[in-house]
Chains A and B, each alone.
Chain A
Amino acid sequence: GQQLNQSPQSMFIQEGEDVSMNCTSSSIFNTWLWYKQDPGEGPVLLIALYKAGELTSNGRLTAQFGITRKDSFLNISASIPSDVGIYFCAGQFPGDYKLSFGAGTTVTVRA
């Protein structure tokens, strides 16, 4: 299957810090999605991106669809303890409904 490289694999951050993670692909995507998964739960959609260059915010979260359509990043500003969890990027290929997921970035916040 297609490879989505998500980095970093994990991060420890101080409460109040800004966080950045990214995803790269060897293939072009039509859609980039960012999900968060809390322990014992399923992934929940945070932000969806549909156009190259698109920059979208959802509260303290900001994500961008890379110009090359092969990458995306997610920023979390002023992190708080409830930001703990695993963040997944996912992409959809042109004309395809299937989601390909990255391996996730585990975020732990130090109070």
Chain B
Amino acid sequence: EAGVAQSPRYKIIEKRQSVAFWCNPISGHATLYWYQQILGQGPKLLIQFQNNGVVDDSQLPKDRFSAERLKGVDSTLKIQPAKLEDSAVYLCASTPGIDTGETQYFGPGTRLLVL
């Protein structure tokens, strides 16, 4: 079974530029998560989708971050404009449903460096 796919794996941009990340979850997984992992910290949830609907975006900085999952399969996360403090690894994860306790399967992440 293919895992969670993410691209690009690395991205370097200058502050105030825009950037987009892509995630393709495990086939058939209804729930998709985007996490931000700052160096030296654990992942922090940014947004959760179930199918193409947003379940929780309470920790998403909506003035600059946006995410969509239009067809309920793959998803994009965008930052516009980027700030220095956005430098982090952006992880995508998926689960079959939304039940608590389900195993979240993580992708390899996109490493973003904002200069």
Chain B residues in the interface with A (C-beta under 8 A): 4, 31, 40-45, 48, 55-56, 59, 91, 93, 98-109
A-B contact pairs, 9 of them (CB 8 A): A31-B100, A42-B93, A42-B108, A42-B109, A43-B91, A97-B100, A99-B43, A101-B43, A103-B41
* Total A residues in contact with B, Cβ cutoff 8 Å: 25
Decide: B101 and A42 in contact? CB cutoff 8 A. no
Per the bound structure, the CA–CA distance linking A45 and B6 in Å amounts to: 18
Decide: B42 and A50 in contact? CB cutoff 8 A. no
Q: How far is the CB of B41 from chain A (nearest CB, A)?
A: 5
Decide: A101 and B44 in contact? CB cutoff 8 A. yes
Q: How far is the CB of A31 from chain B (nearest CB, A)?
A: 5
Decide: A97 and B98 in contact? CB cutoff 8 A. yes
Per the bound structure, the CA–CA distance linking A45 and B43 in Å amounts to: 14
Listed from nearest, the 7 A-B pairs whose CB atoms lie closest are A101-B42, A42-B106, A31-B101, A43-B106, A88-B42, A101-B43, A97-B100
Q: Given the complex, which residues of A lie within 8 Å of B93, measured CB to CB?
A: 42
Q: Given the complex, which residues of A lie within 8 Å of B55, measured CB to CB?
A: 97
Q: How far is the CB of A39 from chain B (nearest CB, A)?
A: 11
Q: How far is the CB of B86 from chain A (nearest CB, A)?
A: 18
Decide: B4 and A98 in contact? CB cutoff 8 A. no
New contact pairs (6) apart from A42-B106, A42-B107, A97-B98, CB-CB < 8 Å: A30-B100, A40-B109, A43-B91, A90-B42, A95-B100, A98-B45
Q: How far is the CB of B96 from chain A (nearest CB, A)?
A: 12
Decide: A98 and B108 in contact? CB cutoff 8 A. no
A102 at interface by CB-CB < 8 Å: yes
Decide: A98 and B56 in contact? CB cutoff 8 A. yes
Decide: B108 and A41 in contact? CB cutoff 8 A. yes
Q: Given the complex, which residues of A lie within 8 Å of B48, measured CB to CB?
A: 97-98
Decide: A43 and B56 in contact? CB cutoff 8 A. no
Candidates A48, A96, A101; contact of B103 at CB < 8 Å: A48
Per the bound structure, the CA–CA distance linking A30 and B100 in Å amounts to: 9
Q: How far is the CB of A7 from chain B (nearest CB, A)?
A: 13
Q: How far is the CB of B71 from chain A (nearest CB, A)?
A: 22
Q: How far is the CB of A104 from chain B (nearest CB, A)?
A: 6
CB contact under 8 A between A45 and B104, given known A88-B42, A99-B45, A101-B43: yes
